[in-house]
Amino acid sequence: KEDGRGCWRFFEPEMDEQAQQRRRLEMDLRRALAEAPEEFVLHYQPAVEIAGGRVTGFEALLRWQHPERGLVAPQEFIGLAEEIGAIEALGELVLRRACAEAARWPDQRLRLAVNLSALQFRREHLTALIHAVLEESGLDPRRLELEITEGVLLNQTAQTMATLRGLRDAGVRIAMDDFGTGYSSLSYLRSFPFDRVKIDRAFVRDLASRPCDATIVRAVTTICAGLGMATTAEGVETEEQLRLLAALDCNEAQGFLFGRPVPAAQIPQTLARLAALAG
């Protein structure tokens, strides 16, 4: 406590620097959203059926092509967008862009997965927005899968559940993302009939060396199969992980083994490469 003052003085410039950087990023984010939405780009990562290797769809992952910073990862600005109330505009841009692009993909059976922030559920307008975006893009609602995290269900309001149910009635699929890393995950599985559960990368990473992770993945795929939910393993990087996931009856895999997220223009190439691999 005695040298508290000294410590504060020592850290002050650094904290100031951090706060300033955040303010700069915040102003930049507002500028880009208002004046240069083309700086936000979507990259797409394939999901593959483990049995047979067929590509079933792509997940849209947001990046910010910043004029000075280069390509900024979502983790660096989505949290900020949520804090400053910009996530709704950003999320709307993502939905519009993703659906319009997916309507032009070479294969019109491919699924389009889009990530939603929990905050996008705060307003009733989400259902209307999704209907409007589907209408203007002409995308078949059954091709759209919305990925939500436990955060959406954390304060499970009647409105949230009604929104999810309404979307599902319209044919849109709902996936639970990053499964297993939050709180009381199991209870969420009975709160809503998800179409898919995405098993977090944390359980896939050390699958080969940690038998306990294999046990957990097996439990999840068994529960999901019993509930009629498909499973996708996230962050699959090696053939060995893929073999183990197949043995654990996981349905689909996504990860660098099949491809990193790529711009929309590279989707045909990705499909050709993976088709050749699947033989």
Query: Could you list the residues that contact ligand C2E (CB under 6 A)?
Result: 45, 61-62, 73-75, 78, 91, 94, 115-117, 147, 177-178, 234-237, 255-256, 261
Q: C-beta of 27: minimal distance to Mg ion in Å?
A: 28
| Only segment of 81-89, 102-110, 232-240, 255-263 that touches Mg ion (CB under 5 A) | 232-240
Q: How far apart are the C-alpha atoms of 273 and 257, rounded to whole Å?
A: 12
Of these partners, Mg ion, ligand C2E, none, which one is at the site of residue 112 (CB under 5 to 8 Å by kind)? none
- Show the site string, 94-133: x = touches Mg ion by CB under 5 A, - = not: ---------------------x------------------
Which of 62/229 has CB closer to ligand C2E?
Answer: 62
Q: C-beta of 78: minimal distance to Mg ion in Å?
A: 12
Torsion of CA 26, 147, 111, 171, to 10 degrees: -120
Closest of 232, 236, 175 to residue 204, by C-alpha: 236
Q: Any contact of residue 177 with Mg ion (CB under 5 A)?
A: yes
Q: C-beta of 105: minimal distance to Mg ion in Å?
A: 18
Give the pair of three-digit tokens for residue 54: 């067929």
Which of 24/260 has CB closer to Mg ion?
Answer: 260
Q: C-beta of 271: minimal distance to ligand C2E in Å?
A: 17
Q: C-beta of 174: minimal distance to Mg ion in Å?
A: 12
Q: Any contact of residue 147 with Mg ion (CB under 5 A)?
A: yes
Which of 115/117 has CB closer to Mg ion?
Answer: 115
Of these partners, Mg ion, ligand C2E, none, which one is at the site of residue 140 (CB under 5 to 8 Å by kind)? none
Q: C-beta of 205: minimal distance to Mg ion in Å?
A: 12
Which of 49/237 has CB closer to ligand C2E?
Answer: 237
| Only segment of 13-21, 129-137, 206-214, 227-235 that touches Mg ion (CB under 5 A) | 227-235
What is the CB-side half-sphere exposure of residue 167 using CA atoms within 13 A? Answer: 30
Of these partners, Mg ion, ligand C2E, none, which one is at the site of residue 220 (CB under 5 to 8 Å by kind)? none
Residue 8 burial by Cβ neighbours in a 10 Å radius (0-12, 13-18, 19+): exposed
Task: Name the β-bridge partners of 70.
Answer: 66
Which of 60/224 has CB closer to ligand C2E?
Answer: 60
Q: C-beta of 258: minimal distance to ligand C2E in Å?
A: 9
Q: How far apart are the C-alpha atoms of 45 and 263, rounded to whole Å?
A: 9
Give the pair of three-digit tokens for residue 269: 């190439």
- Assess contact for 257 and 46: CB atoms under 8 A: no
Binding site for Mg ion (CB under 5 A): 115, 147, 177-178, 234
